[in-house]
Structure 1
Amino acid sequence: LPNMSAYNETCASIANVYWNHRQFLLHGDAKYLDLMERTLYNALLSGISLEGTRFFYPNPLESVGQHERAEWFGCACCPGNVTRFIASVPGYVYAVRDEELFVNLYASNEAQLVINNNKLRVAQETEYPWNGAIRLTLHPEAEELPMTLNLRIPGWAQGRPLASDLYRYLNNEPAQISVQVNGEAVPLEIKNGFAQIRRAWRANDVVELDLPMLIRRVVAHDSVKADIGRVALERGPLVFCAEWPDHEGGHVRNLFLADDAGLTTEFFSDRLNGIQVLRGKVAGYYAGKKEAFEKREQELLAIPYYAWAHRGKGEMTVWFARNEAAVQPVGLPTLASTSQVQASFGKNPQAVNDLLEPGSSNDHEVPYFHWWPNKGTAEWIQYDFNKPEEVATVEVYWFDDTGVGECRVPQSWRILYWENGDWRPVYTPGAYGIQKDQFNEVVFETVRTTSLRLEVKLQEGWAGGIHEWKVK
């Protein structure tokens, strides 16, 4: 799926948790819990802000600043769904079947359970997901409680992210997992993803499970075209991302992470309510004046994906280039990219000068501006320059989502410039093109101005939009 435009709705993540939890209850296989946990800590948790007051509808894996959480939506299924779900999370931690107790999720808690008509109190102590040291103390009401304790051994600790070939680790060695009962090591017998310990349990028996959290490099199946030549980072159940406030110039989509680059981890107690971060060295790619790329060594600081978009709007990425062909260099500033943008109406006007060129008019992988739901109207968008500029050429790449939405190329358009307190049309002998899947260039008599306006007449019954607008 495209990283920037795939919908990844919060409600879909909740449904994913529901489905996989029920599959586990039906089959007793921890592979369903692996997917449930991955969704819970990442795709689902990003849907709500740290304060619990703002929400994402979609949860993209890449952004150039067009995404932010909102207090409410016209169709507000996600806010109510996510708040209801989070209140239900304690019910997913344990499961009971006859004389078996399953520990599905790891989090500090106390639980009162009933095992084969016998009461059992379980106390779990851990700093999971920051580290994998887990301590369980069992308090059966009876003097002895014969029971099989099933401790989930996550796929990430066994060297695989999922029980499929959709993703795999480049460094897939299993972690050195250990289990102790009352301070004595016990053999690791794994069945259906659970370490099983069968014994008669007594009050104050202590089980210690250690799941070392290696920093994992994830690659996707080659069928996922958006992630060819890219790598993502995980540690434990958490997926990490790079976000603009932590990187040079606010850019992260231009970073190249070599496979042999060293990575370390540390805990920041004073950032984003306390987070584990990953650090390392990357190369930042920048467009050079003579076509060749300029590369500069930079610091990488990756945060848990769920914690992004709390420090303002800007770039974010989960998938880093590991091949040069996948790098997206920062372009050289242009007259358009350094201008201020305003519009008569519409969403995301800053997309028209973000230097991101689309692959087609219906490309949803890069940001675009549109006037929807206005249809058949006269609209405009304009550049305000920092100082008077001489301009003579514009190029416009129209957004047209035929077959998907309600935006089409305009019926007509023209360019105007600001002079002596009035908007005046430029003089051009050429035509104003409305071709899809290409830049439409108009060359006109040179004007000196502080503002340039693009005025459109939308087709009757249709909205319209723009991918990119260049000025020379």
Structure 2
Amino acid sequence: MNRIFPSLTLLGLLSTPAAAQTVKHSDYPIQAVSFTKVKLADSFWLPRLKTNTDVTIPASFQRCEATNRVKNFEMAAARQGKFATIFPFDDTDIYKTIEGASYSLKLYPDEKLDEYMGLLIKKVAAAQEPDGYLYTARTIDPAHPHEWAGPERWVKERELSHELYNAGHLYEAAAAHYEATGKKNLLNIALKNADLVCATFGPGKRAVAPGHEIVEMGLVKLYRVTGKPEYLSTAKFFLDQRGQYKGYDPKSPDAWRNGSYWQDHKPVIDQQEAEGHAVRAEYLYSAMADVAALTGDKRLLAAVDSIWQNMVTRKLYVTGGTGAVPGGERFGGNYELPNTTAYNETCASVANVYWNQRMFQLHGEAKYVDILEKVLYNGLISGVGLDGKSFFYSNAMQVRNSASFPQTEPQRAGWFDCSCCPTNLARLMPSLPGYVYAQNGRDVYANLFISGTTDLKVNSQLVRIVQQNNYPWQGDLKFTLSPAAATDFNLLVRLPGWARNEAMPSDLYRFATPSAEKISITINGKPTAYTTRSGYAVLARKWRKNDVVEVKLPMEVRQVVANPHVQDDLGKVALQRGPIVYCAEWTDNNGRAGNLIVPAATTFTTRYQPELLNGIMQLQATVPAVQLDAANTSISTTRQTLTAIPYYAWANRGKGEMTVWFPQQLTDIELISRQPKEATVGK
């Protein structure tokens, strides 16, 4: 048996589903160090996690109350009333916020929050039907369910009902709540529902390819908690149902609506490209990785590997965003990555983090963490405002602010009718400590560069690792290792692709010019030679208390160019420094952003601005800027200071132009007559 697929050995099974306990079993060859064992202390992420705890999660709960999401559970418990929100999946906003709050409790203990969650979980329990069914859109009034739900349970699950989608988010929340608090009140609700799902679906029973994936990931979470094999087998069953829909006609001009939109056009083992609704897709691919790791299904592994390769070589924005096409919130064709109409749903970035973490745990290659990092620092946190309570559903790559393009002036919103993105961010953010380190026996991986402390066990010895840095603004990393007793193990420090002249682990993007700057590593102040493995520096030695590893990553401003097949980016460059992708925003550039040219020879200066946008490294350069005269009859260029900010920080100072990609020559500029208008502050 190869190392990717260890044999599945359950060391313990539960006598009853409700008697949940942690069970050791084979899983991914590489295991993440739990978020419960990593304490952050940095100046970039920790304030964001604090804002998520103090602002985002309370606002999310409050909005769940104000928009009647909580009321739906109360009416379901009473078995009377009228479903009071818009979508049948609105239940999940409560589940996702509970998940985020559970992680948050581990970071910031809060008795009042814990008590509130307990009351909310009681309402969820009361809304559950005796056999475990939990879906307020039907339970409130079974004779008149939501129009998407169908007259009976499950009959519209493939297309509209989201019954299993709701269940999946319940399972995810329950696993997180149990891991963070040790309490079983939500877990017992989830297990009762999961037992119903397993009794309903499977060989010889009802079959369906779930319309909006995540139940598969959730069932795997419950399997890891309980060791109950039915949860894993049902997750695999749902995967295997794809591509069997009889109504799918691949020759129809609207074939995607019946098939690829929800990844049901082919059996999963035959899928090779990232297709359809991006969030659904990346939840599916995460589940494929889970099931491949746990069952040893090599065909499933080959499929998810091919899909990942297609995404990274053909369908990923430079910010890590995915899902180019607004119609269907879906992946476009190969190299279809438009800027002004880019969709890039925030939820897709959340799902992409989950997927790449799993791919790393399968294969142990740094390229997966490189993509995860790109998403985290750019396309994901762009989705939440610096205030913690304003959000983007989609994340634009270019905003043209003019009378000709009024529809391209987005601003952040506090909530949406379909508010999946705010609550998805609420759950992802506080789980971040669980992505910093990973372990496979005596190999300890340092994946993310976030200051803090972790305690783990290697060779039966307790080891403390303290990480100190000012990342992502500076590239000086320091790791202090303190084993309880001297012990041999390998510290694998990720060497980011961007520090190795690799803008992307594919030819989709590349740096315009190579850099001569090199990564340097010292141990206890002395330069050290090291071997590399799959993008990691392998530091192998007998570690002793207070051994210090220092890594210096080059932090130059780099120009990025896209593959020539990406039509929207021809003749243009993007700007990147470290893991951060930059943009120009109207407010820093004389009211415009689309008239700036960045010739190949442009050099940038950097300056840390602690008072701007909660503290950012700002880029500046003198570049040509296109000007039109008042009559729109004469064009000229003037020299102007271009000021660029991190892409994640845009749209926190009102509405106006923004661009990520800059033309290198005048012939590429889009000439739009416009007078700068007074800024309006977004809400």
Deviation for aligned residue 1:49: 1.1
Matched, 1:163 2:505: yes
Equivalent residue for 1:202?
Answer: 544
Helix, strand or coil: the match of 1:256?
Answer: coil
Matching of residue 311 in structure 1 with residue 653 in structure 2: yes
Tell me the distance in 1 between the aligned counterparts of 2:541 and 2:416: 52
Match of 1:282 in 2: 623
The residue that corresponds to 2:432 in the other structure is 89
State how 1:218-237 maps to structure 2 within 5 Å: 218-237=560-579
Q: 2:529 aligns with which of 187, 209, 215?
A: 187
* Residues 1:115 and 2:458 are matched in the alignment: yes
1:273 corresponds to which of 608, 614, 620: 614
Give 1:431-470 correspondences, 5 Å limit: none
Q: 1:174 to 1:100 in 2, by over 3 A?
A: farther
Could you tell me how far apart the structure 2 residues matched to 1:153 and 1:219 are? 21
How far residue 116 of structure 1 moved from its aligned partner, in angstroms, is 3.2
Structure 1 unaligned spans of 5+: 339-472
Deviation at 1:175, TM superposition (A): 2.7
Q: C-alpha distance in 1, partners of 2:632/2:476?
A: 53
- The corresponding residue for 1:98 is 441
Displacement after TM superposition at 1:323 (Å): 2.4
1:68 aligns with 2:68: no
- The 3-state SS of whatever aligns with 1:301 is strand
Secondary structure at 1:255 match in 2: coil
Query: 5 Å matches for 1:214-363?
Result: 214-248=556-590, 250-288=591-629, 289=631, 291-331=633-673
Query: In the alignment, is the contact (CA less than 8 A) between 1:240 and 1:305 conserved in 2?
Result: yes
Name the residue aligned to 1:15: 351
Instruction: Provide the rounded CA distance (Å) in 2 between the counterparts of 1:290 and 1:37.
Output: 44
After superposition, what is the alpha-carbon deviation per residue over 1:319-373, rounded to whole angstroms, capped at 9, x for unaligned?
Answer: 011122221234266xxx99xxxxxxxxxxxxxxxxxxxxxxxxxxxxxxxxxxx
| Distance of aligned partners of 1:49 and 1:331 in 2 relative to their CA distance in 1, 3 Å threshold | same
Task: Report the Cα distance in structure 2 between the residues aligned to 1:52 and 1:252, rounded to whole angstroms.
Answer: 26
Alignment-derived partner of residue 375 in structure 2: 39
Indicate yes or no: 2:368 matched with 1:26.
no
How far off is 1:108 after superposition? 0.7
Q: Counterpart of 2:493?
A: 151
Measured in 1, the distance between the counterparts of 2:418 and 2:532 equals 45
Which one has a larger percent helix, Structure 1 or Structure 2?
Answer: 2
Whichever residue aligns with residue 361 of structure 2, its letter is L
User: 1: CA distance between counterparts of 2:415 and 2:674?
Assistant: 37
Q: What is the SS of the residue equivalent to 1:56?
A: coil
Partner amino acid, structure 2, of 1:203: K
Distance 1:180 1:126 in 2: 15
Structure 1 CA distance, aligned partners of 2:495 and 2:451?
A: 17
Shift of 1:287: 2.7
- Asked if the contact 1:10/1:56 (under 8 Å) is kept, the reply is yes
Residue 282 of structure 1: CA displacement?
Answer: 1.3
Cα deviations by residue, 1:303-322 (Å, 9 ceiling, x for unpaired):
00001101111111010111
Q: Hey, what does 2:341 align to over in structure 1?
A: 5
Q: How many corresponding residue pairs?
A: 333
The 3-state SS of whatever aligns with 2:644 is: strand
**SS at 1:14's partner residue?**
helix
CA contact (8 A) 2:464 2:481 kept: yes
The answer for the alignment partner of 1:384 in structure 2 is none
**Structure of higher CA gyration radius:** 1
Identical counterparts, % of pairs: 44
- Structure 2 counterpart SS, 1:187: coil
Kept in 1, the 8 Å contact 2:459–2:487? The answer is no
Pairwise CA RMSD of aligned residues?
A: 1.5
- TM-aligned CA deviation for residue 172 of structure 1: 2.1
Structure 2 CA distance for aligned equivalents of residues 293 and 177 of structure 1: 45
**Cα deviation 1:19-47 (Å, max 9, x = unaligned):** 11111100000011111100110000101
Residue identity matched to 2:600: D
Amino acid at match of 2:595: N
Partner of 2:326: none
TM-score (norm 1): 0.69
Match of 2:391 among 55, 58, 69: 55
| C-alpha deviation, 1:176, in angstroms | 1.8
Q: Secondary structure at the match of 2:352?
A: helix
Alpha-carbon distance in structure 1 between the residues aligned to 2:554 and 2:568: 31
Q: 1:200 is aligned with what amino acid?
A: K
AA in 1 matched with 2:380: L
Which consecutive unaligned segments of at least 5 residues does structure 2 have? Answer: 1-336, 402-408, 678-683
Report the equivalent of 2:271.
none
Structure 2 CA distance, aligned partners of 1:86 and 1:274?
19
Verify the 8 A CA contact 1:160 1:172 in the aligned structure 2. no
How far the C-alpha of 1:67 sits from its partner, in A, is 1.0
Higher fraction of strand: 1
Cα distance in 1 for partners of 2:570, 2:530 equals: 37
The amino acid across from 2:416 in the alignment is F
Rounded to whole Å, the distance in 2 between the matches of 1:43 and 1:64 is 19
Aligned mates of 1:332, 1:122 — CA distance in 2: 55
CA distance in 2, matches of 1:332, 1:244: 12
Q: Report the counterpart of residue 477 of structure 2 in structure 1.
A: 134
